A = this chain, B = another copy of it.
Amino acid sequence: MTSTATTLKGQPLDRPTLDSMLRRRLFYTPAFEIYGGVAGLYDYGPPGCSLQANLIDQWRKHFILEEDMLEVDCTVLTPHEVLKTSGHVDKFADWMCKDPKNGEILRADHFVEEVLETRLKGDKEARGQKIEEKEEDPKKKKRKNKGAVEAVKLEDAVVQEYEEILAKIDNYNGQELGELIKKYDMRNAATGVQPSPPVAFNLMFQTAIGPSSNVAGYLRPETAQGQFLNFAKLLEYNQQQMPFASASIGRSYRNEISPRAGLLRVREFLMAEIEHFVDPQGGKKHPRFQDVKDVELVLLNRETQLSGKTNVEKVTIGEAVANGTVDNETLGYFLARIHLFLKKIGVDQSKIRFRQHMANEMAHYAADCWDAELFTSYGWVECVGCADRSAYDLSVHAKKTGAPLIVRQRLDEPITIEEYQVTLDKKKFGPHFKKDGKTVEAALLATSQEKREELSKTLETADSITIEVPGVGDGKATVPKELITVAKQKRVENVREFTPNVIEPSFGIGRILYALMEHSYWTRGTEGVDEARGVLSFPPIVAPTKVLIVPLSNNEQFRPFCQRLSQRLRKMGISSRIDDSSATIGKRYSRNDELGTPLGITVDFQTVQDKSITLRDRDSTKQVRADEDKIVEAIKSVVEGDKTWEDIQAELPAFEGQEVEVAVR
């Protein structure tokens, strides 16, 4: 593990150079750039599209096909009510304040953090201490106009206060952030004034569905909700068998307050999400856990993080589940499968860790969560979340809609259950509550056993009970004693009903794609040439194009050979590209190293004579020469992962030649 980002070959990674190469080669580009662009929106050009399509293809094979998951493709447009129930309307928000002078919108927690960090730096400077640059956190990317550091010494007690605030910055709500801003007189460096008190800003994009604007809707912030809403249909499709998983690949949207950090924090992004539905009883075992138990992971759990350590040894997932670091087999199984996926697509093994969420940073629906983080020049970046959402989502949607989002399982032996039952006097109940009757009844029937025990006790002494019923009156309903009985009753059950728990591996495809580009990048120094040449050493399975075909020159004789090779490869499902531009062969290869194409074919005058062609390896720049059939076979075996370039070099005669031009261009 490294504390500053490096290239694939361990060179210090120069992000601006890489970035400019990625844009020049159209891996990505700011969207609407000729209109000045919009923050947080990017387009992918041809190599980016192809890389993305290959990642998705591998993901589909690794997860959906390998594990018979049920893929669904749900709409992005989502009506208000669904996201109200899921909790997103109320809780999916950041705190923002406004600079009253220049109108700048600030994310409150980032602002507090910046001001305090700047003051602490000033203090260190005044004390003559060395200022260490902290690892950059892309979630907290600094604004360009943040205040310059002024050397002002602080009192020791103040330093300690600031440090304590920074340590728990994620825990403050809007009011508390506002109080901090006032108490410490924090001012926007750009204007010298204090920003307004923080207000909640919901991160969902809102729109209206239909002409009468009466269906308020949002662009989904995750693909998960569509999967939950289809749970009953999917269970039926799966012929009632449990456990099973659904999966979805699609775009989601978050209206970030002020997106920075390039491709890592964007407003529109591609996600791949799995919802694995599992019986909460029996310890959440997984039938294929044995297959992965020896996979070794870097696991940074809560305790380790609290102790301030970040370097931890690898452990097998079998051990981690056995000793309780990871809660259960199903969660452990997916952590291992995520690791194997990231390894397969070429993520640097030394730059992956799994970090457990602290209690206060988990999403509102999560019972436990581990992030697969990848190390980049922006620091450790969350690329895959693996959350245990428990029965939260299915329960709230079932409660709201009355749909039975449950599993019914025939019991081998009937069991006797003693439980609190709620019985209503329907004749009186309806007339008493009138139009609210059904809602109040649903709320009563949805109460937990704990709640019913409490209600039962209350009814022993009180004349009525009061329960929360959202949407009725002031959100509460009072039920007179004569309308309701709550008592323990025995019954025999042949069928067990339960709400499944959900383990959710959630992949940010764009972030993985960006990390993969950093991890695959390195520069090749060439003698006699000033600037180092960039290379993207993607594994063949994800490389945007597999083979570059270059004719020595644009002599007409070469054309049929290039065309035939291209067609032959296409028929085998191998993507190739002919570059018959007038640049030197060296320059054309160089361009292609930047595009990450693993193999290159040269067609030259000897080809015309004896039909032999050369094959070049991107990473070593070594070449071999053989007849077309042998070369095509070699390409197939490398692209399909059956052989390495070393194997090919051992089998086919070496060729030295054209690459010399590069040094003298």
A contacts, CB < 8 Å to B: 25-26, 29, 31-35, 38-39, 41-46, 48-50, 52-53, 60, 65-66, 68, 70-79, 81-82, 96, 103, 105, 201, 205-212, 215, 217, 219, 226, 229-230, 232-234, 237, 239, 251, 253, 255, 257-258, 267-268, 397, 400-401, 403, 405, 570, 575, 577, 581
Cβ-defined contact, B45 with A237, below 8 A: yes
CB nearest neighbor in B for A241 = B581
- Expressed in whole angstroms, the Cα–Cα distance for A577 and B268 within the complex equals 34
Enumerate chain B residues within 8 angstroms of A215, measured Cβ to Cβ. Answer: 38
- Expressed in whole angstroms, the Cα–Cα distance for A74 and B32 within the complex equals 9
Q: How far is the CB of A559 from chain B (nearest CB, A)?
A: 13
Cβ-defined contact, B70 with A35, below 8 A: no
Known A29-B230, A205-B207, A255-B211: A48·B73 in contact at CB below 8 Å: yes
Q: How far is the CB of A141 from chain B (nearest CB, A)?
A: 16
Known contacts A49-B73, A77-B253; 13 additional CB pairs below 8 A are: A31-B229, A32-B229, A39-B210, A41-B209, A46-B72, A49-B72, A68-B577, A105-B210, A201-B211, A206-B207, A207-B207, A210-B257, A211-B258
Known A73-B43, A76-B251: A38·B209 in contact at CB below 8 Å: yes
Q: List 18 A-B contacts (CB under 8 A).
A: A26-B233, A32-B79, A34-B232, A34-B403, A38-B209, A44-B72, A44-B73, A44-B74, A45-B72, A45-B233, A46-B237, A49-B73, A76-B251, A77-B253, A103-B212, A105-B212, A205-B207, A205-B208
Enumerate chain B residues within 8 angstroms of A229, measured Cβ to Cβ. Answer: 31-35
Cβ-defined contact, A255 with B210, below 8 A: yes
Enumerate chain B residues within 8 angstroms of A401, measured Cβ to Cβ. Answer: 34-35
Q: How far is the CB of A639 from chain B (nearest CB, A)?
A: 13
Minimum-distance CB pairs A-B, first 3 = A34-B403, A49-B71, A44-B73
Cβ-defined contact, A255 with B72, below 8 A: no
CB nearest neighbor in B for A578 = B68
Cβ-defined contact, A226 with B71, below 8 A: no
CB nearest neighbor in B for A48 = B73
Cβ-defined contact, B38 with A79, below 8 A: yes
- Expressed in whole angstroms, the Cα–Cα distance for A71 and B234 within the complex equals 34
Q: How far is the CB of A546 from chain B (nearest CB, A)?
A: 12
Cβ-defined contact, A78 with B32, below 8 A: yes
Which of B43, B52, B82, B577 is the one whose CB lies under 8 Å from A32?
B82
Enumerate chain B residues within 8 angstroms of A81, measured Cβ to Cβ. Answer: 35
Q: How far is the CB of A319 from chain B (nearest CB, A)?
A: 28
- Expressed in whole angstroms, the Cα–Cα distance for A581 and B240 within the complex equals 10
- Expressed in whole angstroms, the Cα–Cα distance for A255 and B207 within the complex equals 10
Which of B32, B201, B237, B258 is the one whose CB lies under 8 Å from A26?
B237
- Expressed in whole angstroms, the Cα–Cα distance for A397 and B103 within the complex equals 30
Cβ-defined contact, B45 with A77, below 8 A: no
CB nearest neighbor in B for A29 = B233
- Expressed in whole angstroms, the Cα–Cα distance for A362 and B622 within the complex equals 56
- Expressed in whole angstroms, the Cα–Cα distance for A34 and B268 within the complex equals 27
Cβ-defined contact, B32 with A65, below 8 A: no
Cβ-defined contact, A211 with B43, below 8 A: no
CB nearest neighbor in B for A402 = B34
- Expressed in whole angstroms, the Cα–Cα distance for A448 and B210 within the complex equals 41
Cβ-defined contact, B575 with A43, below 8 A: no
Cβ-defined contact, B226 with A75, below 8 A: no
Enumerate chain B residues within 8 angstroms of A68, measured Cβ to Cβ. Answer: 577
Enumerate chain B residues within 8 angstroms of A205, measured Cβ to Cβ. Answer: 77, 207-209
